[in-house]
Structure 1
């Protein structure tokens, strides 16, 4: 379970001409490489939740993706593409000499992990897809279902603000806040690492790739769909999804049905998009069991 752990190593890497900062915990023979969500979030929330895997003998590596955290924050909007982040991830792996990794992608990091695995299959020993999707149009339909639970008048209000672009209106933000507490993190007080990442959110890549909030996808990823390509993934796969996740169990099932036989799925009860904080007892044992089975 998570606790604050200082990294054993902090690396400032030069990748594609920009500074990218990576963090290494432990020195085990098996490496878990974490790709956090966002886009635009520092890796704090995912790094703090998984550095504890050193207790089970794993080396854990995370990095602040370009534009986030301690990494450089260029203003070129053309940089915010999944293709560039795939190349960045490979550069981190190679520069740090990580070898084949257990790749753990959470939320947007799961989209990145899927594209990375399809691009560099020999680099991935196993794949953990946590609270993520592989079909954005299907995901958009699931978001509409979650929004509809707020009631028709609230949905109409949200749509009016979205049409006007008034995403910062108090009544619109109130609806998003309610959805966040239902489907992003159901704890009454959000953990410090989550707040730390959120307080340092770079909205430029987020707006470019995703949209103004977690429940409206209008960025350059809105038509992304890798379901037809998932049968090409040969690495063992664990899918994790919170029972109340914004990236819903239906999205997780869609991935499992498209992957080769043998993909595992863990539906974490009483959790939404942050199961490692909301229900650690439901999250860590299946993760460790999977990693023990696929290492070596």
Structure 2
């Protein structure tokens, strides 16, 4: 099933899914009362306010990673994979303004190497297969399964989410790929062919000169990038208005992990970066679970590519954020969360309706 979710149709699609393809009573029955949603009594993370340190096994030994549960819903649980690599869960903190009122349970999670988790000094750990195995161990520790487990990956987290789905989709109920393309070679073309030419030619020339000299520690590099690239394509707000969670995320970035996998350039993944040849475009048809791709008009990643991805996925849909950049959950917040929650609840209601029908048939 292919479904396009432009901003103007998000509300109507939610109503349509309630009144036609699914029973609205079923949809509402799967949203717990707030008293139940926020009740932590008897849960193993009650003492810590939802925080659980998960011990993971790696080729270099055991380490602790940080997770935090918000809310309770037995059929809708979302694990959030942050960007970077080497970023933190803090960039997702705006979810607190939207998901609780929708009754969706969600988990913040700092991947190994990130600020709230262990940060081993071992570069052999920063590779896709090991991160995929880490997510699987976290899933088990949090008791997530195919009847309730939605995985959302943003940016680098989107790469990780695709890789996880290709190996473990039998554990998933739904997948959300937020602001990430399925091909790094295609990702690299976008700033060269589209974003760069939008810049002042003098600014672009100076940035390219700094990059060609491999002079990324030059303060002039970020001095040029912040007003000419970040506030136009990463988060479309004046720097002084950037939300505190976003600023904390950037200040806590693990640069060792980031540079090894992403590289030092902000115009693509190049040089010796380990992700530079990553490409899963030819494997999208193998992901059978319901999947939502999200793209922003002003994104650092090509929104048309995210739309194309949804068309390749057997059960894909696309959410377009017309005011959004790479952090569309902030600069096109209402579109982002309306589409995201519509998708989660639609998948949940359809699964419930199918299960009820099977029971009725028996």
TM-score, normalising length: structure 1:
0.93
* Residues in 2 aligned to 1:264 and 1:93: alpha-carbon distance in whole angstroms: 24
Cα drift, residue 213 of structure 1: 4.3
Cα distance between partner residues in 1 of 2:139 and 2:344: 19
The answer (yes or no) to whether the contact 2:323–2:331 under 8 Å persists in 1 is yes
SS of 2:225's equivalent? helix
Per-residue deviation at 1:211? Answer: 1.3
264, 267, 281: which one aligns with 1:215: 267
Give the root-mean-square deviation of aligned CA atoms: 1.9
Change (3 A) 1:39 1:213: same
> Please, which moves more after superposition, 238-247 or 157-166?
157-166
| TM-score (norm: length of structure 2) | 0.76
Cα offset, 1:49, TM superposition: 2.4
Deviations 1:236-277 (A, max 9, x none): 1111111101012122133123222x4211111212111121
Partner residue of 2:329 out of 271, 276, 282: 276
Q: Which residue of 1 aligns with 2:179?
A: 131
Number of equivalent positions: 291
Tell whether the 8 Å contact from 1:132 to 1:252 is kept in structure 2 after alignment: yes
Q: Does 1:22 align with 2:51?
A: no
CA contact (8 A) 1:28 1:54 kept: no
SS of 1:120's partner is helix
Measured against aligned partners, the alpha-carbon deviations of 1:83-130 in whole angstroms (never above 9, x if no partner) come to 111110000000121223111111110000000000101111111111
| Deviation digits for residues 118-157 of structure 1 (CA, Å, limit 9, x no counterpart) | 0101111111111111111001000112122224443332
Q: 1:50 to 1:230 in 2, by over 3 A?
A: farther
- Choose between structure 1 and 2 for higher RCO, CA contacts under 8 A separated by at least 6 residues: 2
Please identify which structure carries the higher helix content: 2
Instruction: Give the structure 1 partner of residue 35 of structure 2.
Output: none
Q: Determine the C-alpha separation between the residues in 2 that align with 1:174 and 1:147.
A: 16
Structure 1 Cα separation of the partners of residues 268 and 341 of structure 2: 33
Q: Which aligned segments of 4 or more residues in structure 1 are displaced greater than 4 angstroms?
A: none
Does the CA-based 8 Å contact 2:87-2:254 persist in structure 1? yes
In terms of mean alpha carbon deviation, does 5-14 or 21-30 score higher?
A: 5-14
Highest Rg: 1 or 2?
Answer: 2
